Structure 1
Amino acid sequence: MAGRYVSIDTTELRRFIERLNQAGRGKEFEKELSRFLDAIAVEFLSYVQDFIIQAGSVDTRLLLNSFQKSGEGNVFIAQEGGLQIEVGTNVEYASFVNDGHWLNPRGVDMRWVPGEWQGERFIYQPGAKTGMLLKQKWIEGSHYFDDAIRLMERMAPQFMERKIEQWLGQFFSDFL
């Protein structure tokens, strides 16, 4: 078949690749990506809060509020360059509530905790003559964080798919 050849016009493909490069380096796309990562992190924090409330784990608002962006004890990092999302809490007892814990330290069968009962709630008061005696016992965790991770893992592919479709329409509508 000498002298026969196929010619393919790659003008549109080259234009599309050029647009991908521009979008990848463009400030507008970086802002979009940053907003998206922030939204994913905030969504995850709302899942955590929902599971804390469902478990009835909160006697103060500290744990619940620490899973809110800018809340006391909150950890919130959402970077776009390396696509890193890190959210969590620095509240000391958060892992005890999630994972479970022994009521007393290792080797301590019973201990006295000074304070008073106000209805169903115990108020710790150092030096009080009243209080309660705690016996060694395992307190099961509510696994609120683990449940939120499982939910997010199930939901993330849908979030990503919708966002990619939106970005394709926003940045590449002339190719669709």
Structure 2
Amino acid sequence: MAKTFKVDINGLKEFSQKLKAAADGDLIKQYNLWLEAAGMEFLDIVQDEIIRLKVVDTRRLLNSFTRSDSDCIFKLTGKGLKLEIGTNIEYAQWVNDGHYIGSKKLTIKTKNGRKLALRNIKNWVGKRKWIEGYHYFDISLEVFEKILVTSMEKKLQEWLDEF
């Protein structure tokens, strides 16, 4: 007598249809919504860090991490599969990374209108000084990456269960 076995593939057709629906855009639409929400959460984290670190600010930097602000960069590209977030505030990177103030040279105007450039003067008031950055964006990225991994795993499981 020959040995046989039976394979039951009940639901394969339904599963195949769900995969097709996901590939035709349902999953992409859901991903876009999730990514946009994640981006909004990142903006909140950046604002929280600016406030927590007491970054010297006239609120322009803080407000630039609000999606409705004209200086906020919030772009979904690549059919919504890529999100770029940032700010157009020119000093934002200096506040984050740190910067020098002062100049390496001192220019003095003489009585006859001639300019003299004096370099490497020690102990003068306008000496260059390093201002340490607050690293608010870097810290925000670290916090967000931890949240994102957990959120993405959970969302992927939901999508797998749905499709």
Q: Which TM-score tier does this pair reach, normalised by the shorter chain?
A: 0.7 to 0.9
**Letter paired with 2:82:** Q
Pick from 154, 157, 160 the counterpart of residue 162 of structure 1. Answer: 154
Report % sequence identity.
40
Work out whether 1:98 is the aligned partner of 2:88: no
| Alpha carbons of structure 1 residues 13 and 58: separation in structure 2 relative to 1, 3 Å | farther
| Higher relative contact order, structure no. (Cα contacts within 8 Å, ≥ 6 residues apart) | 2
Q: Counterpart of 2:8?
A: 9
Contact (CA 8 Å) 1:48, 1:145: kept in 2 or not? Answer: yes
Contact (CA 8 Å) 2:61, 2:92: kept in 1 or not? Answer: yes
| Alpha carbons of structure 1 residues 109 and 158: separation in structure 2 relative to 1, 3 Å | farther
Give me the TM-score of the superposition, normalised by structure 1. Answer: 0.72
Contact (CA 8 Å) 2:32, 2:80: kept in 1 or not? Answer: no
Runs of at least 5 residues in structure 2 that lack an aligned partner in the other structure: 108-124
Q: CA deviation at 1:82?
A: 6.2
Query: For the residues of structure 2 that align with 1:141 and 1:109, how far apart are their CA atoms?
Result: 25
Provide the aligned length of Structure 1 versus Structure 2: 146
Q: Counterpart of 1:43?
A: 41
Q: Counterpart of 1:126?
A: none
Q: Secondary structure at the match of 2:11?
A: helix
Query: For the residues of structure 2 that align with 1:99 and 1:153, how far apart are their CA atoms?
Result: 19
Deviations 1:79-109 (A, max 9, x none): 474621110011100000000000124x146
Instruction: Let me know the Cα RMSD of the aligned residues.
Output: 2.4
Contact (CA 8 Å) 1:75, 1:87: kept in 2 or not? Answer: yes
